[in-house]
Each structure stands twice: as C-alpha cells, then as structure tokens.
C-alpha cells in the first residue's frame, strides 16, 4: 500500500511539473488608449523597449520576425485599406501579391492582409491586420524574409491570438 501511495505521489509531482512547463507566464502589453491588450509569451517574443514610428514592436527570440502594433487616432475605411498598406511600403519598393480578406483573430473580425516585397534582392513577406473599432483603428503587422514567415506561422498566430479588446 505504501508503495502505491509513493508511486501516486511521484506521478502527481510529475504531472504538476509538466503542467507548469506547458503553461508559460504571459506578459501583457496594454495599448496607449487602454482599449486593447496583447498577451504574449516572453519565451517566444521580446518587446522592444522603444520605437519611433509604432506604439510597440516585438521580435521573435531568433530576431527573424518583427511584429509592429499601432493604434491610430482615426478610422481607416475598408475602401482605403489597399492604399494605406501600399503607402507604408512605398519607400522600400512596390509590394506584390497584396491580398486583403476578412478573418477572425481571437473573436475580432479584422481585415487581414498578406503581401510580398522584393527588397535588395531578398523576398520579404508581410502579413497582419487592420481593425477599426472603439477609438479609431489598430494595425498589427509582421515582416520577415519569406522563409522566416513560412516556417514560423504558428508563432505569428500565437501573437495574433493574444490580442483582445479590454472591456
């Protein structure tokens, strides 16, 4: 009987340790207007301490993928989505294969976009979304060389699914 209790104690300790490893401590970024928050795993994403053009920037742990978030003080209408996205990349070159479609991201229906940019003979891929909601529009976008985006889509989805509206 004591051997069974000892074995049960060992197994319960093992399962408790396994649950701790699978449940990482998330950190939270709260937008400047305190309307949105992004919960992220600091083992996968590092929040940059400062940025000049975006509200916050994240980098994956290998520094291959950049994620940028901004909260606009105006609304971006659906008919201006394409021109808004094209304008953001114009200093780097012409974007190609721009696709914009509706998608649910953590229960928020957003205008998701994907595009490519040939810059200095490297193919870069960008994706992200624009959402017009309370207080204006927000944008979260990812950029990296094509290979990094393709190999790390689960990581991008993880950060996307961390965004929510604060009630």
- Domain for residue 37, yes or no? yes
pLDDT score for 51: 81
Encode pLDDT of 2-29 as tens digits. 554 444 444 455 444 444 456 679 999 9
Structural domain count, the chain: 1
What is the token pair recorded at 130? Answer: 């624009």
- Which CATH number goes with the domain that contains 32? 3.40.1000.10
- Domain for residue 121, yes or no? yes
pLDDT band at 167 (very low <50, low <70, confident <90, very high): confident
pLDDT score for 50: 79
Contact 37/31 with Cβ under 8 angstroms?
Answer: yes
Counting residues of the chain whose pLDDT is more than 90, the rounded percentage is 75
- Domain for residue 2, yes or no? no
pLDDT, greater one: 141 or 91: 141
Across residues 115-135, what is the average pLDDT?
93
Across residues 112-117, what is the average pLDDT?
97
- Domain for residue 98, yes or no? yes
Encode pLDDT of 48-80 as tens digits. 877 888 999 999 999 999 999 999 999 999 999
Contacts of 127 (CB under 8 A, 6+ apart): 112, 113, 114, 115, 141, 142, 149, 156
pLDDT score for 27: 97
Answer whether residue 131 shows pLDDT above 50.
yes
- Domain for residue 4, yes or no? no
- What is the domain range of residue 77? 24-165
């Amino acid at each position: 009987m004591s051997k069974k209790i000892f074995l049960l104690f060992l197994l319960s300790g093992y399962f408790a340790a396994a649950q701790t490893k699978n449940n990482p401590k998330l950190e939270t970024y709260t937008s400047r207007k305190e309307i949105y928050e992004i919960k992220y795993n600091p083992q996968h994403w590092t929040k940059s301490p400062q940025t000049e053009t975006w509200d916050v920037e994240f980098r994956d742990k290998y520094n291959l993928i950049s994620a940028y978030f901004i909260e606009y003080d105006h609304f971006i209408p659906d008919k201006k989505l394409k021109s808004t996205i094209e304008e953001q990349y114009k200093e780097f070159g012409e974007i190609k294969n721009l696709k914009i479609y509706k998608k649910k991201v953590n229960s928020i229906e957003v205008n998701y976009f994907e595009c490519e940019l040939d810059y200095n003979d490297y193919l870069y891929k960008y994706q992200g979304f624009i959402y017009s909601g309370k207080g204006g529009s927000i944008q979260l976008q990812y950029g990296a060389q094509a290979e990094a985006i393709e190999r790390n889509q689960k990581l991008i989805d993880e950060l996307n699914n961390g965004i929510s509206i604060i009630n």
